[in-house]
Structure 1
Amino acid sequence: MAQVDTLDLVVLVALIVGTVAYFTKGSLWGVVKDPYATTYSTINGAKAGQTRDILQKMEETGKNCVIFYGSQTGTAEDYASRLAKEGSQRFGLKTILADLEDYDYDNLDKFPDDKLAVFVLATYGEGEPTDNAVDFFQFVSGEDVSFESGVPADEKPLSNMKYVTFGLGNNTYEHYNAVVRIVDTNLTKLGAKRIGTAGEGDDGAGTMEEDYLAWKEPMWKALAEEMGLEEREAVYEAAFEITEAPDMSPEDDTVYLGEPNQNHLEGSSQGPYHAHNPFIAPISESRELFNVKDRNCLHMEISLAGSNLTYQTGDHVAIWPTNAGKEVDRFLSVFGVADKRNSVIKVKPIDVTAKVPFPTPTTYDTIVRYHSEICGPVSRQFVSSLAPFAPDEASRAEIKRLGEDKDYFQERVASKYYNLAQALESITSQPFSSVPFSLLVEGIPKIQPRYYSISSSSLVQSDKVSVTAVVESIRVPGAHTVKGVTTNYLYSLKLKQEGDPNPDPHGLTYAITGPRNKYDGIHVPVHIRHSNFKLPSDPSKPIIMIGPGTGVAPFRGFIQERAALAAKGEKVGMTLLFFGCRNRNEDFMYKEEFEKYQSQLGDSLKIVTAFSRETSQKVYVQHRLREEAVLVNELLKQKANFYVCGDAANMAREVNVVLGQIIAEQRGLAPEKGEEIVKHMRTNGSYQEDVWS
């Protein structure tokens, strides 16, 4: 063997380090931090020169409570904002809201004992921190935590810190609320003192809001006792000053009408495109996948040409939705601003630490249509905050009762899936004209992009992503029909592409040409989110895929990629797909395509189907999985990767149980041993999930 000289060794080490860095993205937990997930304010230049020292920031602004948030979709940020507001109004705390990625943590050992730190942390995916919390999570959970003072971890460097924690999780995932639990454990280990219990909200059970409300009251009581706070009657104090600008017109080129940032407003939008700077992508093709009148499923091809956006098979595409015109009209009418919807307004923070959640100047219509989650679930706490502004005593009393009685709120509002405007309409026909618009800006979460598993292979079509989406329309008995915000928006785009000049699916209309008609020609704002849901690097390795309904989306991409590799002469391992739907003649999506791939891949592709409504006894993918126990076990012995995509609450949980049973039964093991093997598969990445509630 040739001798390796010093230069060769240096290059070799650099290559190894670089390779490891690429595949781990610096993660201790298999977390891939999305390189595109830079902040909204960065694209607008708002953070230039901002200090990364939170203690300095608190000192300069006179704050005694910092509320950090780790948020992926905006929910944790919303809860953090609510805590900040309530702490200020009820207890006189001087609060500052802080994005975890905006600050450093190595001086937290100097955190004053008369101040408070609050951590509101979502757990993302399989026990992972959100993109903006990765660095903090790795810092506080690392084995060699190092603070400025040099005090070692075992000598309690955070002994002065008092803190509060609330986690947002989903019990359908194995690592439920893992991030907040790990952070809480490590903060305590480092000497910090937690006030109250560590709160946990469960999105999987649909109890997030009530979990939060049940946690925060005893927390506030414990905090008041610990820090000597006195509760006072909560009176609304605006965080934003909203002024109308009669000298400005919506036609002015400085007024934002739905553009996400200044580059888009000026018509000079350019990359990099990411979670705060979308690419306005043309939809090159759209078609219907179902053969039934009362249900729709869309297949869309979205072009990335010219954007420099790249994706890998298994990634997600984020689609930025627009609220339906019908719901925008309802909201503006309920709050008494319909007649001035196009008036230009300026929004300015009253507190120097507050952030305006959208570009300004803008209009009432723009805020409601493009920036506010007006169709989302209603917060009981927020409804309660509207009581002082009710139009009459009867509606004020009703709102108070809704705010105080969770069972009554469940019966009257939550069980009917009302949005905020619908809930208020059910109380009175009079408008809530006295509600300060600033209260709505502060209290209604920002509308978030919706993420869809990409149903195409990047190897086959690198400059185009496919989306597979059922158009959501759910009839609530005795109430109304709930329409999916984004899927109906996409459906209207499909109808427009087919030649309908004024599409209004299900009576909904959308501003589908976008602000200032910038989306004309069938465009949609998108960005790419990278995922760990990936094919094995060796195509000869077998894979098992469980994908009922639209859960088949990423597996279409997987099979498409393997067929392309086989066409190139590469050896492709056994590719086993379990697909389920209601009826083979109604909603067997991609049936013809799968038949084509079957002819290309031959015996290396097997598709097992479950049609739940073709027999008196419903049959689902988990039943078919059990029937194929021998083959599944044999493939697992060959080190097959196992993938699940779809409903987390029922299907994914049952598949997990069935797989453990198959392993135990086929190998003659105790049931708990089969469960252990499945857990180990999850840990080493050979069992992967892309699931939703």
Structure 2
Amino acid sequence: MAQLDTLDLIVLAILLAGTVAYFTKGTYWGIPKDPYADSYSSANGAKAGKTRNILEKMDESEKNCVVFYGSQTGTAEDYASRLSKEGSQRFGLKTMVADLEDYDYENLDTFPEDKLAIFVLATYGEGEPTDNAVDFYEFVTGQDVSFSKGGAADEKPLEKLKFVAFGLGNNTYEHYNSMVRRVNDALVKLGASRIGKAGEGDDGAGTMEEDFLAWKEPMWAELSEKLGLEEREAVYEPVFSIIEREDLDADADEVYLGEQNKHHLEGAQSGPFNSHNPYIAPIVESREIFAVKDRNCLHMEIDIKGSNLTYTTGDHIAVWPTNAGKEVDRFINILGLAEKRHKVINVKGLDPPAKVPFPTPTTYDAAIRYHMEICGAVSRQFVSSLAPFAPSENSKAEMTKLGNDKDYFSDKVSSQYLNIAQVLERVDYSQWTNIPFSILIEGIHKIQPRYYSISSSSLVQKHKISITAVVEEIRIPGSDNIVKGVTTNYLLALKQKQHGDPDPDPHGLTYSITGPRNKYDGFHVPVHVRHSNFKLPSDPSKPIIMVGPGSGVAPFRGFIQERAALAQAGENVGQTILFYGCRRASEDYLYREEWEHYKQILGDKFALITAFSRDGPKKVYVQQRLQENAAFVNQLLEKEKGNFYVCGDAANMARAVNDVLGKIISEHRGVSPEKGEEIVKAMRSSNQYQEDVWS
């Protein structure tokens, strides 16, 4: 028995050691934890084992300034990184960047007077916080905010907090920059002191970058005065170290070749699938739905069966794109990386809070192809930062001029829609081998998923998601430059490959269709679902009026598909009115046959009112058709309490529709134009008027 007891103790000891090793993920044994191993679990907070106390984190890393960001597309995160770096290099602040979803905020009332918080906050959709800022926003704007010391809001619990704020918005939306405005008001109400003006960038006017640059200089001046900071000459200090691995080949099992996390690397798909962890979904159908050769619109069916992904009608699907091979080659060649494009590299943050934007070890090619937004818009500040690494004095002078002269930069770069590699080529076609790869990682956004309105009904096809996407292409007047949309052209390439087209793209765009290590073979695409507030009324008998020209009709295909299914199931379905517009009935009339099918099912309950802008002697648009049917529209909204929906271009169509509806209400209800506008605003507030628009 004594021997058995000893054996039992040994077994228990081994089990205990194994349990400790499992739950500490190897940290007690000196094995570094793969930061991307559990990236899917970070959707609702910081990764396991990391503190959610921001002050504790700042003390650990000896920081006196934290730059928080609320970002949906990566721009706010980029601005936060730039402010952090500038604060460190120009003013000697000890800065860190922080994702708002990684921390809790009950202890902001203990924020020390000698530390500074900067908030860079994008507004998403109709005045909503970005996905990663929801918890923070709800906390600071809540009615009963509860801090660690238990102080009430009227006791000014944040009186020691000094902060700076910049917002990213779009003036085509009603709630322009509401996120930064509301957070600013909430923080001030709680006793915090803002330093400098709260900046606001306007994507709708196309001035976001210049708004940011114009705001930050006076902000730094006021901050320096208030905090006694002294400006010094900024010298580039890398945030990341790049170590080329001689001991690893690119085909080694542990090298990431574009995989998003450890599970993808190991060939396993583990949910939950979200903005940190895409599902590699099969494309079960793809087809062209334009009847014209020089433009494309894709219809795709994405299979989500077995993924536990769910959607409801009106939601969005996110597609994770891959950069075009032509642009990857351009970028690699101008930087002199061609000979070592498949060299394995380790990227590591030189400062503990620095977050490497992709998993490593990886290769130059994989990082550029799958993770860096190399085709994105270029900022003056980034161009200026590359000037010291120019291959000649002439090119250095040109880069400096581009960085300093707003009008010159607009003429040479912005108006031409050049990406960073194209800028470098035009300044000096010789190779820019002096540019550190670290500054490129810091200055180029992480490539972001693109969101598309789902064009199917979850009631009708629970396990298949439909996408309707016009393939983007911009031809620059007076230039041979053609700008191709990153994601829609990737989807086009997938569709063409699926149909066996030999050499589909005249501009030589090629894509790694089969993905890293052929893991997308058989026509797969990485996706996740984002839930939306753009919804049908819960009562199907309520009338709905939908305005959706072009691909803006996408969610309404799902709405009508659902209403037809409900009608077939015996439900009482209300009036279903669609205002649809396109260029020509013979070219880009989307889902023409389907509308006829739904008309047969819904009968008099369905009306399709079309506007073809180039078929007649005069251009006709959906807002004109809306005005022509003013009495009917007003009756459905006023008497029958119908819902009004708009999807499509925010800057022109959606704003015009909003204005026309205000006039219709004014004229048909006998009220002033100002009162008509107020009624439309009230409709928005009550969700009787809903928009799913983009700029």
Is the TM value for this pair above 0.5? yes
How far apart, CA to CA, are the structure 2 residues paired with 1:488 and 1:103?
37
User: What does residue 22 of structure 1 align with?
Assistant: none
How far apart, CA to CA, are the structure 1 residues paired with 2:544 and 2:506?
39
Q: Which aligned pairs between 1:142-153 and structure 2 lie closer than 5 A?
A: 142-153=142-153
- 1:342-388 Cα deviation digits (max 9, x unpaired): 00001111101111110000000001000000001011100000010
Q: Which aligned pairs between 1:674-689 and structure 2 lie closer than 5 A?
A: 674-689=676-691
8 Å contact kept, 1:80–1:120: yes
How far apart, CA to CA, are the structure 2 residues paired with 1:41 and 1:568?
40
Shift of 1:46: 7.9
CA RMSD, 1 decimal:
1.4
- 1:207-230 Cα deviation digits (max 9, x unpaired): 110100000000000001111111
User: What does residue 291 of structure 1 align with?
Assistant: 291
- 1:483-508 Cα deviation digits (max 9, x unpaired): 01111111111111111366546320
Pick closer, same or farther for the CA change 1:72–1:45 going to 2, 3 Å.
Answer: closer
Shift of 1:53: 1.1
Shift of 1:40: 5.6
Shift of 1:261: 0.2
How far apart, CA to CA, are the structure 1 residues paired with 2:228 and 2:146?
32
8 Å contact kept, 1:473–1:483: yes
How far apart, CA to CA, are the structure 1 residues paired with 2:356 and 2:104?
23
User: What does residue 416 of structure 2 align with?
Assistant: 416
User: What does residue 165 of structure 1 align with?
Assistant: 165
User: What does residue 517 of structure 1 align with?
Assistant: 518
Task: State the secondary structure of the residue aligned to 1:544.
Answer: strand
Q: Does residue 533 in structure 1 map to residue 534 in structure 2?
A: yes
Amino acid at match of 1:645: C
Task: State the secondary structure of the residue aligned to 1:507.
Answer: coil
Q: Which aligned pairs between 1:343-382 and structure 2 lie closer than 5 A?
A: 343-382=343-382
Shift of 1:271: 1.4
User: What does residue 49 of structure 2 align with?
Assistant: 49
Identity %: 71
User: What does residue 627 of structure 1 align with?
Assistant: 628
Pick closer, same or farther for the CA change 1:621–1:46 going to 2, 3 Å.
Answer: closer
How far apart, CA to CA, are the structure 2 residues paired with 1:155 and 1:518?
57
User: What does residue 652 of structure 1 align with?
Assistant: 654
- 1:284-306 Cα deviation digits (max 9, x unpaired): 11111111111111101111111
8 Å contact kept, 1:492–1:505: no
Shift of 1:460: 0.7
How far apart, CA to CA, are the structure 2 residues paired with 1:643 and 1:45?
34
How far apart, CA to CA, are the structure 2 residues paired with 1:616 and 1:160?
66
Q: Which aligned pairs between 1:117-196 and structure 2 lie closer than 5 A?
A: 117-196=117-196
User: What does residue 665 of structure 2 align with?
Assistant: 663
How far apart, CA to CA, are the structure 2 residues paired with 1:494 and 1:217?
47
Pick closer, same or farther for the CA change 1:201–1:46 going to 2, 3 Å.
Answer: closer
How far apart, CA to CA, are the structure 2 residues paired with 1:426 and 1:506?
19
Pick closer, same or farther for the CA change 1:328–1:428 going to 2, 3 Å.
Answer: same
**Segments of 4+ in structure 1 off by > 6 A?**
43-46
How far apart, CA to CA, are the structure 2 residues paired with 1:302 and 1:602?
30
How far apart, CA to CA, are the structure 1 residues paired with 2:170 and 2:417?
20
User: What does residue 26 of structure 2 align with?
Assistant: none
Pick closer, same or farther for the CA change 1:502–1:42 going to 2, 3 Å.
Answer: farther
How far apart, CA to CA, are the structure 1 residues paired with 2:280 and 2:613?
39
8 Å contact kept, 2:40–2:273: no
- 1:373-428 Cα deviation digits (max 9, x unpaired): 00010111000000100000111001111111100000000000001111111111
Shift of 1:319: 0.4
Task: State the secondary structure of the residue aligned to 1:690.
Answer: strand
Unaligned runs of 5+ in 1: 1-37
Task: State the secondary structure of the residue aligned to 2:280.
Answer: strand
How far apart, CA to CA, are the structure 2 residues paired with 1:148 and 1:461?
48
- 1:410-457 Cα deviation digits (max 9, x unpaired): 000000000111111111111111000011011100000000000011
Shift of 1:44: 13
How far apart, CA to CA, are the structure 1 residues paired with 2:546 and 2:149?
51
How far apart, CA to CA, are the structure 1 residues paired with 2:185 and 2:578?
41
How far apart, CA to CA, are the structure 2 residues paired with 1:85 and 1:115?
16
How far apart, CA to CA, are the structure 2 residues paired with 1:269 and 1:605?
42
8 Å contact kept, 2:43–2:275: no
Q: Which aligned pairs between 1:88-99 and structure 2 lie closer than 5 A?
A: 88-99=88-99
Task: State the secondary structure of the residue aligned to 1:469.
Answer: strand
8 Å contact kept, 1:496–1:502: no
User: What does residue 428 of structure 1 align with?
Assistant: 428
Shift of 1:616: 2.8
Paired residues in the alignment total 656
Q: Does residue 308 in structure 1 map to residue 308 in structure 2?
A: yes
Amino acid at match of 1:536: P
8 Å contact kept, 2:548–2:648: yes
User: What does residue 485 of structure 2 align with?
Assistant: 484
8 Å contact kept, 1:76–1:122: yes
Q: Which aligned pairs between 1:255-266 and structure 2 lie closer than 5 A?
A: 255-266=255-266
Shift of 1:246: 1.4
User: What does residue 402 of structure 1 align with?
Assistant: 402
- Of 46-55 and 290-299, deviating more is 46-55
- 1:632-678 Cα deviation digits (max 9, x unpaired): 01100211100000000000001001001001101111111111110
Unaligned runs of 5+ in 2: 1-37
TM-score, scaled relative to structure 2: 0.93
How far apart, CA to CA, are the structure 1 residues paired with 2:506 and 2:594?
28
Pick closer, same or farther for the CA change 1:619–1:45 going to 2, 3 Å.
Answer: closer
Amino acid at match of 1:618: K
